[in-house]
Homo-oligomer: A and B are copies of this chain.
Amino acid sequence: MKLSTPLPRRPTIHDVARESGVSVATVSYALNRPERISEGQRLRVLETVAALGYQPNRLAQGLRRGQSRLVGISVPHLTNAYFAELVNCIESVAGRDGYEVLQVLHHHRPTVERLRVAALLDHRVSGLLMVPSEHPTATLDLAAAAMVPTVVLDRPLPDARFDQVTFDNRAAMTELARHLLGLGHRHIAFAVSHPGLVTTRQRIEALGRLAADGARVTLLRQDATEAAYRARLAAALAGKAGATAVIASNTQVGLWTLRGLQAMGVDVPADVSLLVFDHPDWADIVRPRLSVVDTPAAAMAEAAWTMLCARMAGETGPARTVELRASVRFAESSGAVRGS
């Protein structure tokens, strides 16, 4: 087909209408309500659309329809493979369903989280997925006030306003603890980066029940620098009563711990056992191979998306919580305590 003149700007629905010799309403119907229009008109319009390379302006559509087809996702950062995988999975399913992903990072800082999620809301996201920071209340209030369908990921919150998807941290930790008890360990260090996090507290709680079995637990806080952390780690392991096993709360703490143990010349697992939450891709290429808690990132993303879609489609009713199971995989890094 011949065009009257090439446009120096992106074509609008008016351009299509003019070229096709119909009204803008007819163009809109041809694209969105094929049944409301005659076959001939529809074909002619579609031809013009193709010829001009017309693509509806989503900003205008969003404004008019009152929904942007954008979903927001807020996570701490992407240098953690676990969060990266969550976002990765969400992008795939979102794209499949015709949504785009607006992504913000809060770096564990509540203030950043609030500001960035507010920006998401300003863009009128149709839905919101968030792995909350340690103090997400202000952010959550924002989401609630905006009445945007929201699903909280990974970290269960005592907040009945939101759907949540998590995995059973207590069960995973209990499995690790039983394993270590059975291997004769009576003093376990738990290395954490965010002590105040719900999931951390759940893990500590599960670990705490060990006390009843005569075991001791030391909480090892990850410091700002690797050197400072290493000193703490050394202290926790020192002496006759030192910890004989370390459980790391995530990949990065696990990495620092392993590097520290190597630097100190500690033999894993002969001297100290090491177990790690998350599933670093290097778990089975280090020696000894690492015992890990394989978090169900893909399944969680899938579940969260399903719930979010239901809400975006208008589903009402009380908030639901989905709790998946992580699978623990024991390898060589966790062994019997020396002399047991």
Contact = CB atoms under 8 A, between A and B. Distances in A.
Interface of A: 9-10, 53, 55-60, 62-63, 68, 70, 77-79, 81, 84-85, 87-88, 91-92, 95, 100-105, 116, 118-124, 145-147, 255, 258-259, 262, 280-282, 284-287
Interface centre among A101, A103, A116, A118 (most CB of B within 10 A): A103
Task: List 8 A-B pairs, minimum CB-CB distance, nearest first.
Answer: A282-B282, A78-B84, A78-B88, A58-B123, A59-B63, A84-B84, A59-B62, A58-B122
A53 B285 contact: no
A262 B285 CA distance: 8
B95 A100 contact: no
10 contacts: A10-B146, A59-B59, A70-B123, A79-B85, A79-B88, A88-B105, A100-B102, A100-B120, A103-B103, A255-B285
A140 B134 CA distance: 41
A99 B32 CA distance: 31
Contact of A101 (B68, B81, B92, B102): B102
Tell me how many chains of this kind the complex includes.
2
Nearest to A63: B59
Given A100-B104, A116-B95, A285-B255, A124 B59 contact: yes
Give the interface centre of A91, A285, A286 by most chain B CB atoms within 10 Å: A285
B255 A59 contact: no
A254 to B, nearest CB: 10
Contacts of A63: 57, 59-60, 63
A95 B104 contact: yes
A87 B286 CA distance: 28
Contacts of A118: 55
A87 B105 CA distance: 10
Contact of A122 (B56, B102, B120): B56
A174 to B, nearest CB: 28
Contacts of A81: 79, 81, 84
A123 B282 contact: no
Given A124-B58, A287-B287, A91 B79 contact: no
A187 B286 CA distance: 27
A85 to B, nearest CB: 6
A159 to B, nearest CB: 20
Best-surrounded residue of A118, A119, A259, A284 (most CB of chain B within 10 A): A119
Given A63-B60, A104-B95, A145 B79 contact: no
A108 to B, nearest CB: 13
Given A146-B10, A259-B285, A282-B285, A105 B91 contact: yes
A119 B96 CA distance: 12
B100 A123 contact: yes
Contacts of A102: 70, 100-103
